């Protein structure tokens, strides 16, 4: 607050950002929300895949992500210590309290968009889990080790499809490239570092974001090259905000659907 | 395929030998000789079954994004995924009879193949996820437990595996029903409404009455079917009514009563007009279900073409490299 002259009206000056009370809670929330929201998007494919085998594979990925989210949100609630369960966190927060990266909340788009988004995320997630699994927070490390196995399969699945689509037909190539172009500007957010990451590092979750970004870029560019796809030459500015609760317009609609039954019956058990 | 040059007497002898094997309780395997009628009946039943699994993903898929807890969301995704797996498994089983899965899918999409009429009813509340698991999977289990003893080996083995998962789905469904029935007044009303909507369609899942079932006689003789539609329907009602009582719900049948002599729960008349309407494509969601399958197929065309093109390119590159 700025000092005010006696007799002058009180100034509504506030801090630029409110510092989070519990940084590790916020950090785990980010991990959980990424997977909750992406798992939700993936589950939208259930019954609508391009081939039955893919219906099963996409459902399986949705299931893994939702399972990871449930475990992470339960851990977040435990760290917070305010008695909020994973369901309370998933179903009774508004969109500004969600901490997922924007890339996870974008609508499913076509199969190419879904696959490229998943590929970008899988590559990031696998590299991140590898670091966290070796980190100093025991519970989180255990979750990371389990998720690492699932994400290894996810990355194999998504990268195989990136190759098939990129190096398939002219149409599939064009669609996959369009997805890479559209999604690229959302990838920077995954590697941003802020005070929450610093605090998490102090609590034993030390992630070198610059190194992670370099490894990601190498992995992603390798697969894109094999798929005859290219990183956009002029990608434009990266879009961010999800980690601070500043989302795209899509998240509100997703949550409206996800939370409708739970919120219509507050206090009910399911 | 049966050689057409075979003399009728030789054919008759082969049918007699085939029927003797069936009568002796042997199972028929893909490479065994079988009458064309037997093959056709099995292709019809297995493809209808596979289509039902795949179309059945839609009414439940409708609630995945609104599941009210993470645990319920995960089990619903897993259930719908299982149904896709069952579909795939049964399509593969049907292929052992010399048909191509893509032709079977084409028959579903062009409306010439049937699937279980139950999936042409809409899912209107979360309680439907419980009631479908309980009643619809429950009815399917009654059918499939018997089908696990069917004379065609690959189908019988598929049913044994599938029944295990269906039993799990049924328990899961009944657990949702129990939770809602013991929940708030709104939850209880929701689950009662779902039972009211799905009760009669579940009874219709066993197919027309025996007096009006065109395929039953031959199927029973060949042990493709082991019990009649009406026997299975009665068995389902007898199993289910105590479960209805346990959660203090009702079924929408004022004529339902227990008959001490037969030990059966006797139920009222089934509205076969409704059944026939749904079978003919005039159910509440027939169009929506087929439209959704067609849209998935058409939207997936470029993906399938890409996979084929990629496989061909890499096969030819591997040949060049060799």
The ipTM value here is: 0.94
Contacts of B58 in chain A (CB under 8 A): 47
Interchain contact, B296 vs A49, CB within 8 Å: yes
List, in order, residues 6 or more apart from A51 with CB less than 8 Å away: B300, B303, B304
Interchain contact, B69 vs A43, CB within 8 Å: no
Size of interface A-B (CB pairs under 8 A): 141
By C-alpha distance, the chain A residue nearest B176 is: A270
Q: Domains along chain A?
A: 23-264 (1.20.1260.10)
Closest Cβ opposite residue A265 in set B66, B87, B187: B187
pLDDT (tens digit per residue) in B238-252: 999 999 999 999 999
By C-alpha distance, the chain A residue nearest B68 is: A262
Interchain contact, A56 vs B88, CB within 8 Å: yes
- B207-210 contacts, C-beta under 8 A, 24 or more apart: B208/B272, B208/B275, B209/B270, B209/B272
Adjacent-strand bridge partners of B206: none
- Mean pLDDT, chain B, whole residue set: 93
Q: How many Å apart are CA B152 and CA B112, to the nearest integer? A: 24
The yes-or-no verdict on residue B192 having pLDDT over 70 is yes
pLDDT recorded at residue A20: 66
What 3 state SS string does chain A have? CCCCCCCCCCCCCCCCCCCCCCHHHHHHHHHHHHHHHHHHHHHCCCCCCCCHHHHHHHHHHHHHHHHHHHHHHHHHHHHHCCCCCHHHHHHCCCHHHCCCCHHHHCCCCCHHHHHHHHHHHHHHHHHHHHHHHCCCCHHHHHHHHHHHHHHHHHHHHHHHHHHHHHCCCHHHHHHHHHHHHHHHCCCHHHHCCCHHHHHHHHCCCCCCHHHHHHHHHHHHHHHHHHCCCCCCCCCCCCCCCHHHCCCCCHHHHHHHHHHHHHHHCCCCCC
Q: What is the mean pLDDT of residues A41-70?
A: 97
pLDDT (tens digit per residue) in A157-212: 999 999 999 999 999 999 999 999 999 999 999 999 999 999 999 888 989 999 99
pTM for the complete prediction?
0.94
pLDDT recorded at residue B220: 82
Contacts of B57 in chain A (CB under 8 A): 46-47, 55
Contacts of B70 in chain A (CB under 8 A): 36, 66, 69-70, 73, 86-87, 90
By C-alpha distance, the chain A residue nearest B181 is: A270
Adjacent-strand bridge partners of A41: none
Q: How confident is the model at residue B199 (pLDDT cuts 50, 70, 90)?
A: very high
Q: How many Å apart are CA B64 and CA B79, to the nearest integer? A: 10
State the angle between helix axes of B70-95 and A52-80 in degrees (0 to 180), rounded to the nearest 10.
160
| Chain A, window 77-106: residues with a beta carbon less than 8 angstroms from a chain B beta carbon | 86-87, 90-91
pLDDT (tens digit per residue) in B94-141: 999 999 999 999 999 999 999 999 999 999 999 999 999 999 999 999
* The dihedral sign for the CA sequence B297, B301, B306, B307: positive
| Shortest Cα distance, chain B CAs vs residue A40, angstroms | 7
Distance of CA B125 to the CA centre of its chain: 22
The yes-or-no verdict on residue B198 having pLDDT over 90 is yes
Adjacent-strand bridge partners of B178: none
């Amino acid at each position: 607050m700025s000092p005010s002259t006696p007799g002058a009206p009180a100034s509504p000056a506030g801090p630029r950002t409110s510092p989070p009370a519990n940084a590790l809670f916020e950090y785990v929330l980010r991990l959980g929300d990424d997977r909750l929201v992406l798992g939700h998007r993936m589950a939208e494919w259930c019954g609508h895949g391009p081939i039955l085998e893919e219906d099963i594979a996409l459902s399986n990925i949705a299931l893994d992500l939702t399972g990871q989210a449930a475990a992470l949100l339960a851990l977040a609630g435990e760290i917070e210590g305010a008695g909020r369960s994973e369901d309370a966190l998933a179903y009774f927060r508004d969109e500004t309290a969600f901490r997922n990266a924007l890339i996870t909340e974008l609508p499913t788009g076509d199969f190419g968009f879904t696959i490229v988004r998943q590929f970008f995320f899988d590559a990031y997630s696998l590299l991140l889990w590898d670091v966290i699994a070796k980190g100093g927070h025991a519970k989180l490390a255990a979750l990371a080790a389990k998720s690492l196995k699932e994400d290894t399969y996810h990355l194999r699945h998504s990268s195989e499809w990136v190759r098939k689509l990129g190096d398939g037909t002219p149409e599939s190539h064009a669609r996959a490239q369009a997805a890479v172009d559209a999604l690229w500007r959302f990838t920077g957010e995954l590697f941003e570092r802020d005070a929450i990451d610093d605090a998490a590092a102090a609590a034993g979750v030390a992630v070198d974001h610059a190194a992670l970004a370099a490894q990601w870029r190498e992995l992603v560019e390798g697969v894109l090259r094999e798929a005859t796809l290219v990183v956009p030459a002029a990608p434009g500015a990266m879009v961010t905000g999800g980690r601070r609760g500043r989302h795209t317009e899509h998240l509100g609609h997703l949550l409206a659907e996800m939370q409708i039954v739970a919120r219509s019956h507050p206090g009910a058990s399911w | 395929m049966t050689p057409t040059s075979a003399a009728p007497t030789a054919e008759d002898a082969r049918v007699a030998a085939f029927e003797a094997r069936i009568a002796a309780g042997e199972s028929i395997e893909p490479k065994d000789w079988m009458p064309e009628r037997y093959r056709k009946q099995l292709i019809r039943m297995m493809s209808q079954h596979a289509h039902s699994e795949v179309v059945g993903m839609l009414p439940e898929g409708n609630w995945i994004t609104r599941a009210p807890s993470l645990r319920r969301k995960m089990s619903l995704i897993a259930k719908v995924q299982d149904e896709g797996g069952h579909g795939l498994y049964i399509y593969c089983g049907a292929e052992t009879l010399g048909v191509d899965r893509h032709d079977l899918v084409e028959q579903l999409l062009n409306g010439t193949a049937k699937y279980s009429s139950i999936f042409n009813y809409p899912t209107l509340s979360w309680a439907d996820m419980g009631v479908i698991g309980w009643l619809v999977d429950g009815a399917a289990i009654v059918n499939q437990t018997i089908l696990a003893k069917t004379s065609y080996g690959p189908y019988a083995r598929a049913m044994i595996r599938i029944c295990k998962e269906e039993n799990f789905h049924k328990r899961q469904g009944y657990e949702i029903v129990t939770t809602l029935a013991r929940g708030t007044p709104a939850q209880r009303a929701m689950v009662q409404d779902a039972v009211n909507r799905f009760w009669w369609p579940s009874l219709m899942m066993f197919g027309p009455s025996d007096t009006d079932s065109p395929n039953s006689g031959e199927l029973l003789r060949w042990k493709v079917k082991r019990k009649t539609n009406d026997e299975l329907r009665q068995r389902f009602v007898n199993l289910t009514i105590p479960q209805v009582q346990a959660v203090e719900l009702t079924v929408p049948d004022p004529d339902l009563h227990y008959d001490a002599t037969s030990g059966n729960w006797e139920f009222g008349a089934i509205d076969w007009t409704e059944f026939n309407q749904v079978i003919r494509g005039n159910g509440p969601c027939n169009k929506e279900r087929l439209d959704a399958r067609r849209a998935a197929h058409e939207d997936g065309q470029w993906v399938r073409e890409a996979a084929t093109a990629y496989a061909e390119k890499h096969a030819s590159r591997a040949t060049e490299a060799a």
